[in-house]
Amino acid sequence: MYTNLVSFLELFPLSPLSIFWPQSQRRKSQKNRISALLGLKKFRFPNPAHPLLKNSHKSALCLTSREVYGIFVRYNLKSIFLNSMQTTELLALAQTYGCPLYVYDAAKIEHQYQRLTNAFAKVESLRINYAMKALSNISILKLFRKMGSGLDTVSIQEVQLGLHAGFTPDKIIFTPNGVSFEELEQAAALGVQINIDNLSVLEHFGTKHPKTPVCIRINPHVMAGGNENISVGHIDSKFGISIYQVPHILRIVENTGMTINGIHMHTGSDILDIEVFLYAAEILFDTAKQFQNLEFLDFGSGFKVPYKKGDIETNIEELGKKLTKRFLAFEKEYGKPLTLAFEPGKFLVSEAGYFLAKVNVVKQTTSTVFAGIDTGFNHLIRPMFYGASHSIENISNPKGKERFYTVVGYICETDTFANNRRIAEINEGDVLCFKNAGAYCFSMASNYNSRFKPAEVLWKDGQGHLIRERETFEDLLQNQILLDL
């Protein structure tokens, strides 16, 4: 029954129809009926009980697909992809704006932001700083500003984009790595929060700008993340100041008279086990005890999202309960209120993104059937760069018989998006949809092979809004200086 439910919701993510199973297919206990529906061995009502699961549902379990989605979200059963966009809407956007095309669902972004804030609702001072490196379009930044988010930046250009999008300096934190001292001073002059992860830079900055409070990024020596490329808190990482070098930090603070107003860490991305977060949190708390003038603790991010069917994600709700309890206890130990900060990027925008590409050719060889599309790793590099797996659907033929295809791009490299993937039968001219294309996709795009970068569309309130035009040949020539040779 769980499989049937998943299939139904994938086809009708916003359908007003209700899901109904006859009495003969349900157990006597209402809780057991819910358990059977959700595929759980045991189901516990939330406290207070979910309003959709009251005694009024004795005779039948009748929930709309949106309501069932709410239950899935609450109970961390999100190995399915449920956004507010439907296949017909995506196809219409592809027809209007052409392919390749990035589409972002504003409702999904807002939902993810609300999930995170709800998970830490008992924290009096909570700060969400969107990691704009994941997706930096100005319209996306404005959407986050409207929701009350802050901004996590890693370059002076990102700082400037954030200010251009309307963020005030106090809402921006600058966390660079290996940048010039001039860039650091430029950011400080703009009034944003500075985060330093290098002892020599800390000493230099404290000597020149002792009146400017700074945050320090520690390296907790924790190996965490989906793979080595995205694990950044271990002993061999270039990021952060080792926790064993804290005495050196204290010496610099004493000698320069500078103020440390925050402690920050980020251990990696795609972390599933919440115990890893809690373990690293204890290291952060122990470090924080050695600094008397702190205003905030920044726990970074790294929350895992599902990229393909069967994936599970970080249980944000459970993490929220456990970390909130420990944070509130630490506030009492520390003796003053603190702000709890996070810097999520992928968690907020990944599942909101779709990448649409048209099939140029279907090529049959002696061993493989290739589906060649009008894009390449110049537009979506994650599968080649990180070995990432994106769900791919043929939205032109969603009910077609599944066959095995190897999906490849038009770049003169081995830009393979999927090997021998089961996809509904593909014909030339069909539109393929890559899901989870909101984070580190367009932001890592290039003009390799002199290809134009694609357009971007924001889907909001039932309408598509163009937020970036497709590049043209003139864009390729921009900034080039033609010599008379």
Spatial separation of the C-alpha atoms in residues 35 and 110, rounded to whole Å: 29
Picking from 187-191, 240-244, 413-417, 472-476, which range would have the lowest pLDDT averaged per residue? 240-244
Residue 440 marked ligand-binding: yes
Helix axes of 246-256 and 199-208: crossing angle, nearest 10 degrees: 10
Same domain? 148 vs 296: yes
Q: Residue 145's closest CA among 169, 162, 126?
A: 162
Same domain? 246 vs 341: yes
Residue 251 marked ligand-binding: no
- Token digits for 396? 């032109």
Same domain? 269 vs 279: yes
Q: Which residue has the higher pLDDT, 277 or 1?
A: 277
Residue 438 marked ligand-binding: no
Same domain? 337 vs 365: no
For residue range 406-419, list pLDDT tens digits in order: 999 999 988 999 99
What pLDDT does 253 receive?
Answer: 97
Does 80 have pLDDT greater than 60?
no
Residues linked to residue 363 through DSSP beta bridges, in sequence order: 370
Q: Residue 347's closest CA among 433, 268, 439, 266?
A: 439
| CATH value at residue 395 | 2.40.37.10
What pLDDT does 228 receive?
Answer: 52
What pLDDT does 367 receive?
Answer: 93
Range of the domain at 196: 106-348
Same domain? 116 vs 62: no
Terminal CA-CA length for the chain:
72
Q: Is residue 97 part of a domain?
A: no
Q: Is residue 95 part of a domain?
A: no
What pLDDT does 78 receive?
Answer: 38
Same domain? 335 vs 266: yes
Looking at 284, 318, 348, the residue that finishes a domain is 348
Q: Is residue 85 part of a domain?
A: no
Arithmetic mean of pLDDT, 350-357: 97
Q: How far is CA 133 from CA 122, 151, 176, 437, 441, in A?
A: 28, 10, 12, 14, 10
Same domain? 320 vs 460: no
Q: Residue 359's closest CA among 328, 400, 299, 388?
A: 400
Same domain? 34 vs 22: yes
Q: Is residue 79 part of a domain?
A: no
Same domain? 223 vs 293: yes
Q: Is residue 190 part of a domain?
A: yes
pLDDT band at 7 (very low <50, low <70, confident <90, very high): very low
pTM of the full structure: 0.81
Q: Cβ(411)–Cβ(101) under 8 Å?
A: no
Name the E strands within 339-409.
339-342, 353-364, 369-373, 392-394, 402-408
Residue 382 marked ligand-binding: yes
Q: Which residue has the higher pLDDT, 187 or 31?
A: 187
| Residue 391 neighbours by CB under 8 Å, 6+ apart | 81, 307, 308, 309, 434, 435, 436
* Amino acid in the structure at residue 133: K
Does 41 have pLDDT greater than 80?
no
Q: Is residue 11 part of a domain?
A: yes
Number of domains in the chain: 3
| CATH value at residue 191 | 3.20.20.10
Helix axes of 30-38 and 65-74: crossing angle, nearest 10 degrees: 90
Q: Is residue 482 part of a domain?
A: no
Active-site amino acid positions: 412
Residue 307 marked ligand-binding: no
pLDDT band at 31 (very low <50, low <70, confident <90, very high): very low
Same domain? 142 vs 251: yes
For residue range 154-191, list pLDDT tens digits in order: 999 999 999 999 999 999 999 998 899 999 999 999 99
Q: Is residue 195 part of a domain?
A: yes
Same domain? 58 vs 124: no
- Write down the mean pLDDT value for the chain: 83
Spatial separation of the C-alpha atoms in residues 342 and 417, rounded to whole Å: 31
What pLDDT does 303 receive?
Answer: 86
Same domain? 408 vs 469: yes
Does 58 have pLDDT greater than 90?
no
Q: Is the peptide bond before 169 cis (omega within 30 degrees of 0)?
A: no
